[in-house]
Amino acid sequence: MDFKDYYATLGVERGAKLDEIKRAYRKLARKYHPDVSKEPDAEARFKEVGEAYEVLKDPEKRRAYDQLGADWQAGQEFRPPPGSGPGQYYYSSGGPDVGAEQFGGFSDFFETLFGRGGAAGARSRGAQDFRYQPGPMRGEDQHARIQISLEDAFNGASRTLEVRSPSTGKRNIRVAIPRGVTAGQRIRLSGQGAPGQHGGAAGDLFLEVTFEPHPIFEAEGRNVLLTLPVAPWEAALGETVGVPTLGGKVELKIPAGSQSGRRLRLKGRGLPGSPPGDQIVKLRIDTPPADTSFARTLYEEMRSKMPFNPRRDIGG
């Protein structure tokens, strides 16, 4: 008979931990489940996956299987090593997992290595009714995006969303948006994913947060960026000005001699959190237009009395 590589069947490494093996099994069991799969070989694949899981989830069976060594490859002719065979190891169903024994038995390879006693006993329990008895299967998790305003992220909010999916159709869900949520963060709605099968629990719905464009603010993680227009004399002489934040207007002191592009920090005025973000204020010097004779006179006087070359550092 051919050697069966149970690790390859589940798509895991030989050193895989039990949690990895369980995750791989559940994923493949859902994929090839005879009640839901449209794969032409779903029944056979489901049996193979169940058989592999029955061995690799049990430390004693796995140890015995691993003793065959890494030299065996799938598809090679297999002869059991001395001392193995019927009577040495016994199968136990042990728990709610859906295994190969629930779908018509094990391969000759399995029974040669671990014996027929336990496997036969497992099958005899269903001998009167040889139909497949599915176990509970948890529904798939689903993913969607939710776009919110920065004000909702700052204050927290509650929204009603319309969700559409092939498994549940169209439905409305009430979503609580936590204070301080950031772009890219996911909100988990437990039990709002795809429904389970055969009494299994529903999956979860994960909403990825994105921000609506804001007229004056921009989010950088928990920090909030604001470009603040200032007059030339405010930047040159220094001034205390009112600045909008998500929590309301505050006063900001502009140091004398500030240049356009300078960044000032309002500590803790960004999105809430532990710690909260800051509001970064980027200065932009706006020049008044010379659209009157008086304004032109002032600019000409500045030009004559304040010799200034803004290009001196670049040789202009």
Average pLDDT over residues 217-245: 96
Q: Report the range of poorest mean pLDDT among 87-96, 195-204, 231-240, 245-254.
A: 87-96
Residue 297 within a domain = yes
8 Å CB contact between 252 and 240: yes
Q: Name the DSSP class of 204.
A: -
Q: Is the model's pLDDT at 105 over the cut of 70? A: no
pLDDT value of residue 259: 95
User: Model confidence over 41-87: pLDDT tens digits?
Assistant: 888 888 888 888 988 998 888 888 887 655 555 555 555 554 444 33
Same structural domain, 13 and 119: yes
Domain boundary among 164, 188, 211: 211
Same structural domain, 70 and 114: yes
Give the gyration radius of the chain's Cα atoms: 34
8 Å CB contact between 205 and 141: yes
Cβ atoms within 10 A of the Cβ of 178, count?
12
Binned at pLDDT 50, 70 and 90, residue 122 comes out as very low
Instruction: Round to whole Å and give the CA distance between 172 and 164.
Output: 9
Of 46, 58, 52, 62, the closest CA to residue 104 belongs to 46
Same structural domain, 96 and 43: yes
Domain boundary among 158, 184, 211: 211
Of 23, 5, 25, 7, the closest CA to residue 15 belongs to 7
Residue 13 within a domain = yes
Q: Report the range of poorest mean pLDDT among 96-110, 152-166, 183-197, 298-312.
A: 96-110
What residue numbers bound the domain in which 97 lies?
A: 6-124
Q: Report the range of poorest mean pLDDT among 55-69, 87-101, 142-156, 211-225.
A: 87-101
8 Å CB contact between 263 and 281: yes
Domain at 54, CATH number: 1.10.287.110
Residue 92 within a domain = yes
Residue 60 within a domain = yes
Residue 256 within a domain = yes
- The per-residue pLDDT of the chain, averaged, comes to 82
Q: Which residue has the higher pLDDT, 185 or 118?
A: 185
Same structural domain, 185 and 166: yes
Q: Which residue has the higher pLDDT, 293 or 115?
A: 293
User: Model confidence over 125-148: pLDDT tens digits?
Assistant: 333 333 445 678 888 888 889 999
Same structural domain, 200 and 252: no
Residue 133 within a domain = no
Residues of the chain above pLDDT 90, percent: 49
Domain count, the chain: 3
Q: Does residue 221 come out as left (phi exceeding 0), alpha (psi in the -120 to 50 range) or beta?
A: left
Same structural domain, 270 and 232: yes
Q: Name the DSSP class of 273.
A: S
User: Model confidence over 263-300: pLDDT tens digits?
Assistant: 999 999 999 999 999 999 999 999 999 999 999 999 99
Binned at pLDDT 50, 70 and 90, residue 197 comes out as confident
Q: Is the model's pLDDT at 152 over the cut of 50? A: yes
Residue 313 within a domain = no
Q: Name the DSSP class of 125.
A: T
Same structural domain, 172 and 108: no
Same structural domain, 93 and 165: no
- The amino acid present at 304, given as its one-letter code, is S
Q: Which residue has the higher pLDDT, 34 or 218?
A: 218
pLDDT value of residue 112: 67
Residue 135 within a domain = no
Q: Name the DSSP class of 103.
A: G
| Angle 78-84-89 from CA coordinates, rounded to 5° | 120
Same structural domain, 187 and 240: no
Distances (CA, A) of 309 to 93, 238, 287, 315: 87, 21, 16, 10
Same structural domain, 267 and 202: no
Same structural domain, 192 and 221: no
Domain at 269, CATH number: 2.60.260.20
pLDDT value of residue 154: 97
